[in-house]
Amino acid sequence: MQEPGMIDPRDRELVNVLQQLQPAPMRTSREQIWYRAGLEAGRRRVKVWRGVAAVMMLAAGAAMWARLGARGTAERPVLVRQEVPVVVGVESEEERASAAAYYRLRDTVAQDGLAGLPRVEGGNGGAAPSAPRGWPMEF
Amino acid sequence: MTQPLRDATVAELFAAHSQALQLYARQWVGAVEADDVVQRVFVKMLASGRLPQDARTWLFRCVRNEAIGAWRSARRRGRREQAVAADASEWFEARPEILLDARAAQSALESLPDDQREVVMLRLWSGLTLAEVADVVGAAVSTVHARYQAALESLRKIMEVPCKNQE
């Protein structure tokens, strides 16, 4: 790339004079820079190993925690369904006969109406007390 | 495109530019810190293991960034003034065969605005072209050229005064 515009001849003279000045020498030698670069490289390597060690420690810790967690007793509520025995009523012979009689009577009434009811002999409608047995007495 | 770094190349770069780099860093920091800045930049280059495409420009750009960083950090710590006051070392070597007084030249340069001084330092003692200077300072070439012209004019005015008195 070309330099834009030429500088004034008076400035050229000034530039030439100024360029005679030499910058002060550095106090740091080349060897010191190489030494520092080596030191920094060593530090970086140590940092890398430290990082690796930290990651391994974390992994080991996590593994131990996982193993201990697997052995431990876990407390949790357990629902147990209990079988309730079904109590079946046992009918006696009398009850069974009475129930059968009732069902028979019901079926008859359903089929034939009241006419189906068995006729009661000598009944008085239940309005008056029936005569005691053996009444009237014959002397 | 970068190339693998060879120690001999770094040694050559160090021999050729370390003084100019240190002088450039002196605009922001003291002599000791400037040395340290240059050292850090070369260490960075060695650590990267690659030679930057334009190594010379890269070096000056890195020194600039490092020196400004160091200057800001010193300013935050409030120690810049003490550091600069304690550091009375000169920017240039005092050589009897040169008629120009190194101390007077340094004073003249210090009196320039920062952006003008930076351009003059890079142009005169680093041997960078104006385009390279523009790349280092992050400005347009025309801007850099204008700063360079203004700086030379100011320097000429400052440095002509003693001559007139002598006449």
Cα separation of B118 and B61, whole Å?
12
**Taking residues B144-150, what's their average pLDDT?**
93
Radius of gyration of the CA atoms of chain B, in A: 17
Residues B34 and B97 in one domain: no
Question: Is residue A17 within 8 angstroms of chain B, CB to CB?
Answer: yes
Q: Between these two residues, A116 and A110, which has the higher pLDDT value?
A: A110
pLDDT in tens, B96-105: 777 778 888 8
* CA of B58 vs chain A CAs: smallest distance (Å): 18
Tokens of B130: 């104006």
pLDDT in tens, B15-56: 899 999 999 999 898 888 899 999 999 988 888 888 888 899
Q: Between these two residues, B125 and A71, which has the higher pLDDT value?
A: B125
Residues B20 and B35 in one domain: yes
ipTM: 0.77
Contacts of A24 in chain B (CB under 8 A): 19, 22-23, 31, 89-93
* CA of B125 vs chain A CAs: smallest distance (Å): 7
Tokens of A59: 């992994």
pLDDT in tens, A14-69: 888 888 888 888 887 888 888 888 888 888 888 888 999 999 999 999 999 988 87
pTM of the model: 0.62
| Structure-derived torsion over alpha carbons of residues B119, B124, B128, B131, reported in degrees to the nearest 10 | 40
CATH number at residue B7: 1.10.1740
- The pLDDT value recorded for residue A2 is 44
Contacts of B99 in chain A (CB under 8 A): 17
Residues B108 and B77 in one domain: no
CATH number at residue B156: 1.10.10.10
User: Domain limits of chain A?
Assistant: 30-64
CB spacing of A22 vs B43 below 8 angstroms = no
* Residues of the domain holding B143: 90-161
User: Which of B88, B104, B126 is the last residue before a domain boundary?
Assistant: B88
Classify residue B166: in a domain, yes or no: no
Residues B82 and B107 in one domain: no
Residue A70 in this model has a pLDDT that exceeds 80: no
Question: Is residue A35 within 8 angstroms of chain B, CB to CB?
Answer: no
Contacts of A6 in chain B (CB under 8 A): none
Q: Considering its fold, how many domains does chain B have in total?
A: 2
